[in-house]
Structure 1
Amino acid sequence: MADIPAEGLPPADYAALCDFLRARTGLSFTEAKRYFVDRRIAARMAAVGVATLRDYLNVLRFQASGEELQRLVNLMTVNETYFFREKYQLDCLVRSVLDELARNRRPGSRLRIWSAGCATGEEPYSIAIMLLEQWSRVDEYEIEILASDIDSAVLERAREGIYDERALQGLPAHLRSKYFQPVRGALAADGARWRIIEELRESVDFSLVNIADPRQVQAFRGIDVIFCRNLLIYFDDLGRREAAGMFYDALAPNGFICLGHSESMSRMSSLFVPRRFPDAILYQKPAEGGAS
C-alpha cells in the first residue's frame, strides 16, 4: 500500500516529485495541483507495489524500459480538445500564411506543418481538412503534417481516428459527412461515434515526442508552421523559454508558430517577430540576417 498521508505528500516529497517531472517532461505542477497530483501518484505507487515516494522515484529513474514514467505522464496530462478549435488560426493559415510561404517556393516543393501537443488528433486532422477545403494550391505542394504528443495513450486514439459528438461539435455537417464515417457496433455502444476517413488518417504522421528532451525533437527541422496551442501553459517560465528556443531551432527561416489565445511569445522569448494578419496574430522566425 502506498504510504501517502491523507493530507497528501509532505512538502519536501511533493517538491522533489515536481522537480523530477519538470526536469524529465517540462510539465510544471504548482501547489494548486496538489490534489490532482497526490491522487495519481498514490494510484501508481499502489500499482507498482512500492510504499514510499523515494522508492517510486527510483523506479521512474532507473527502469530501463521507461514504461512506468510513460504511464505516469499519461495520467498527468489533460487532453481535452475538439475539431476546429480556435478556428481563426486555421483561417489565418489557409488565407494568409501558406500563400506567403509558397510565394518563394517552386510547385512540388515541401511544406511542413507540426502540431505539437496534438492530443487525440483533432488539431492535425482539422489542419488537413482546412487545407483540402480552403487552400486552392494544396495540390501544387508536397505537404507534410506532423503531429506529436508526450502521451502514448492519446496518440493511439489519434491514429485510430474515432470521435464522439462532443469532439465534432464545431464541424459543419457537410464536412462531417464528407470526411467521417459513422461507427457501428460495440465501439458505438455508449453513444454516436464517427471515424475519420482512411485517406486523412494516413495524411498525418503521429509520433511520441517529449518536447523537453532535445534528443527527441532533433527530427523536427525545417518546419514551416508550428501549432503549439495551450501546451506551454503547463510549463513554468523557464520551461516556456526553453521550449521557445527549441521551436525556434525547429522552424525554417520565415516559419511561423501559433500559440493559444491566452499565450504570448513576447513573455517567453525575443527571438520571434509578431505578425498581425487579418485573422490572427502569429509569431515568425526571421529570415537569416534579420526580420522579413
Structure 2
Amino acid sequence: MTSAAGAPSMVEGEFVLTPEDFRHIAHTLHSYAGIALGEGKAALVYSRLAKRLRVLGLRSFREYCQLIDGVEGVDERQLMTAALTTNVTRFYREPHHFDHLRDQVMPRLAARARAGGRVRLWSAACSNGQEPYSMALTVLQTLPEAADLDVRILATDIDPNMVAQGHDGTYSEEALEPAPVTLWRKYFDRADRGQWTAGAQLKRL
C-alpha cells in the first residue's frame, strides 16, 4: 500500500504509515514527552494509533499528523502519548530493589524521620500505582509510624489515567499476591468483589 504521494507504507494495514508520518509522530512524542522511538517501533505505532484514527474518523496518518500539530490537537497529543506508553507494572516488581530499600536505605531514613527530619521518595513512571504502593509497604515495614512523620512518596507518570488509578488505589487480590501477605492485608482494606483498596496510612504517604 502507498500514500497518495506514492510513498510506501511501513506497515501493511488499513491505513498508510509513511516514513515521513512515522518521523513526524516520533518527533512529536519526543518533543512532548521525551520518549524516543526508533523505526523498529513502526508496527507498534501503527497498532496503537490506528485505533485513534478510527475513533476520530480520520482517513490517514497524514491527517493524524496534521491534527496533533494544531492547537486543537493538545488533548490528542496526550492521548497519543498514553497510547504509545507501555504500562508494565506489578506489586514488588524487581523484588531485590525493595529488599535494598528495606535493608540498606530505610534504616538511615527511618533514623532521620524519627529525629524530625524530612524524607522524600519518588516513584517515576509509577503506572497505576502498584510500585509506589510497594515502596509504601516497604517503608511501613521498617517505619510503622511513617504516616505520622514527615515522610512522603511522590508518584508520577506521563499517563494521567494511570495516575488516577493509582490515586484510587484499588486492586484485585490477584494483583496483590506478589506483596507480602501480612503487609498488604494489614494496610489494604477489603472492598467489593474481591477488590482491596489502599488504607489511610498508605494514602497519607
Say yes or no: does 1:41 pair with 2:49: yes
One-letter amino acid matched to 2:139: L
| Percentage identity across paired residues of the two chains | 31
Deviation at 1:118, TM superposition (A): 0.3
- Number of corresponding residues: 195
Native 8 Å contact 2:112 2:118 kept in 1: no
Structure 2: tracts of 5 or more residues without a match: none
> Which one of the candidate residues 77, 81, 91 is aligned to 1:83?
91
TM-score of the two chains, using structure 2 as the length reference: 0.80
> Which one of the candidate residues 11, 33, 39 is aligned to 2:19?
11
One-letter amino acid matched to 1:201: K
1:168-183 map, 5 Å: 168-183=176-191
Say yes or no: does 1:159 pair with 2:167: yes
TM-score of the two chains, using structure 1 as the length reference: 0.58
Per-residue Cα deviation, 1:5-41 (whole angstroms, up to 9, x for no partner): 6615122221221122122212222333222210222
- State the partner residue of 1:194: 196
In 2, Cα distance between equivalents of 1:31 and 1:122: 31
Deviation at 1:125, TM superposition (A): 1.0
Deviation at 1:156, TM superposition (A): 1.2
In 1, Cα distance between equivalents of 2:179 and 2:106: 22
Q: Label 1:103 to 1:178 Cα distance change in 2 as closer, same or farther (>3 A).
A: closer
In 2, Cα distance between equivalents of 1:50 and 1:182: 44
Native 8 Å contact 2:110 2:143 kept in 1: no
Greater strand share, structure number: 1
1:94-133 map, 5 Å: 94-100=102-108, 107-133=115-141
1:1-292 map, 5 Å: 7=12, 8-63=16-71, 66-100=74-108, 107-135=115-143, 138=146, 141-184=149-192, 188=193, 192-203=194-205
Partner SS, residue 44 of structure 2:
helix
In 2, Cα distance between equivalents of 1:136 and 1:180: 14
In 2, Cα distance between equivalents of 1:106 and 1:201: 20
Q: Label 1:61 to 1:166 Cα distance change in 2 as closer, same or farther (>3 A).
A: farther
One-letter amino acid matched to 2:121: I
Q: Label 1:81 to 1:35 Cα distance change in 2 as closer, same or farther (>3 A).
A: same
Q: Who wins on radius of gyration, i.e. which is larger? A: 2
- Greater relative contact order (CA < 8 Å, ≥ 6 in sequence): 1
In 1, Cα distance between equivalents of 2:156 and 2:147: 24
Structure 1: tracts of 5 or more residues without a match: 204-292
